[in-house]
Amino acid sequence: MKPRLQASLGQHLVMTPQLRQAIRLLQLSQPELEQEIRQAVESNPLLDWAEPEPRGAEEAEPAPAAAESEPGQAPPEEDTPAWEPEEPWPATAGGGHAPDEDAPPADQAAEPETLQDHLLWQLHLSALSPRDRLIGAALIEAIDADGYLRAPLADIAAALPAELGVTEDEIVTVLHRVQHFDPVGVGARCLAECLRLQLELLPEATPGRALALSLAEHWLERLPRAGVPGLAQELGLPLAEVEGAVQLLRSLDPRPGAQHGGLGADTYIVPDCVVWREHGQWRVALAAGALPPVSIHRGYERLIRSADEADAAYLRGRLQEARWLLKSLKARGETLLKVMRCLVREQAAFLEFGEQALRPLTLREVAAEVGLHESTISRAIARKYARTPRGTIPLRAFFASGIETGAGGETSSTAIQAMIRRLIEAENPRKPLSDARLAETLKATGVPVARRTVAKYREAMNIPASHERVRMD
């Protein structure tokens, strides 16, 4: 065996700054995106606000379950296509989710979404057993605002019911599942583990990934004291190689939970998409203002040709940043619209008939249909809203876990809750239906659920027990 040089041709994915920017913009809510664009315009002279062009809804080729408009062709408020809604249209774009027909379509403040809410939602959509979901809920409850699990596993086990006999090995197994939820790195027990979880998600061919994993695992505490040159000398590696790995570490998020700290009390819902029905077909478009009207400043762009070398180099750098931003914004809109089209196709019955028609749908199913990763779908729907004939609802409302029915199909948990609500609304107030009676009624309609499941759903809807609902007047 002799050392030799060999050239090879191959393809691999690299986590470039442009790709990281596109991922970050995708998970921003509409108000956060506007703030991000405003800061970019203020700091980059090559970016300028553009006058929004008047847009109208264009005809689109109808699909079997829904028809969509082209990306960015959202109908303005005054040009909404003429149609007779089967449900009341919200008075403004800020209407809250109101599945109840009697609810007033007024503007509502967006409810704060905590990190625990975001993780529990993913937990309920995961293919886990009820026992593992109980363990996962206890783990999520112990995760702090930064996204770290500070509590010892023994305390987690002690917080669970003693009759379950949960071991620490079981808790670790479920923790590994939670650590793969969005945001990446959540559930880590230390900074090194947080960085390792994010690095493991990157392609193996990412430059500096292997060395960055080693630094995060063994040299993280040594790095601030020795510095990059000193660490390179200790490891016996080229300085450029160590600098590249350290730069990759710095690009990671040491506080993954901070981005899900919730919305402010005075933040109002701004829809990202519009869903409307026209000629019997459902159509989808990006809402007006979903893509902030920014463009390249042509005056500064032309100035590059006549500027001196230093100024021209600076302007060329800002021009490249502006083009990356515009490309990332376009990709964000296309991804959001692609996901929304899939949701409308899959949940057309939900838009037609309400929550009782919501079918089970998971992130994995949508990811497989649109050809994207589950984490991308999770980012695309995070804190995003759609204006529909049923109000302005979060995109996560289109997802639901499923329960097998007697006919061999599945019914979503949200649909079952709607059935329980309707049964209680129609009950005799002098003889309210007990949880056991509700379970029997649902079983007779082909939805076999246990009494304790009915009780759990009833409590989740803040409906009191039967003995508290008795009225003799």
d(CA 86, CA 390): 9
pLDDT of residue 101: 40
**More confident position, 352 or 471:** 352
What would the mean pLDDT of 297-315 be, rounded to a whole number?
Answer: 86
| 455 CA to centre of own chain | 29
pLDDT tens track for 265-275: 445 678 899 99
Ranges 98-112, 166-180, 264-278: which has the least confidence? 98-112
Confidence of residue 208 (pLDDT cuts 50, 70, 90): confident
What would the mean pLDDT of 268-296 be, rounded to a whole number?
Answer: 85
pLDDT tens track for 172-195: 999 999 998 888 889 998 888 999
Confidence of residue 404 (pLDDT cuts 50, 70, 90): low
pLDDT tens track for 39-73: 888 898 888 887 655 544 333 333 333 334 433 34
Ranges 5-14, 224-233, 435-444, 462-471: which has the least confidence? 5-14
d(CA 295, CA 293): 7
pLDDT of residue 332: 92
Structure tokens at 269: 């819902």
Give the H/E segment covering residue 275.
strand 273-278
**Three-class SS state of 22:** helix
Residues of the chain with CATH 1.10.10.60: 402-468
Residue matched to tokens 């509409």: 30
d(CA 111, CA 281): 31
Nearby residues of 367 by Cβ (< 8 Å), 6 or more positions away: 373, 374, 376, 377
**Three-class SS state of 234:** helix
**Three-class SS state of 400:** strand
Q: Are strands 294-296 and 385-388 parallel, antiparallel or unpaired?
A: unpaired
Angle subtended at Cα 374 by Cα 371 and Cα 377, rounded to the nearest 5 degrees: 80
Structure tokens at 418: 């709607």
pLDDT of residue 77: 38
- DSSP, res 259: G
Confidence of residue 1 (pLDDT cuts 50, 70, 90): low
278 and 271 Cβ atoms separated by less than 8 Å: no
pLDDT of residue 334: 92
- Tell me the backbone φ, ψ of residue 295, rounded to 5 degrees: -150, 175
Nearest to 291 by CA among 91, 18, 89, 33: 33
pLDDT tens track for 414-473: 778 888 888 888 888 888 888 888 888 888 877 777 888 888 888 878 888 887 787 765
**More confident position, 404 or 171:** 171
pLDDT of residue 20: 80
The yes-or-no verdict on residue 119 having pLDDT over 80 is: yes
42: amino acid identity, one letter: E
Burial of residue 350 (CB within 10 Å: 0-12, 13-18, 19+) is buried
The yes-or-no verdict on residue 214 having pLDDT over 80 is: yes
pLDDT tens track for 128-154: 888 888 898 889 988 888 889 888 888
pTM of the model: 0.54
> DSSP for 341-381?
HHHHHHTHHHHHH-GGGPPPB-HHHHHHHHT--HHHHHHHH
The superfamily CATH assigns to domain 402-468 is Homeodomain-like (1.10.10.60)
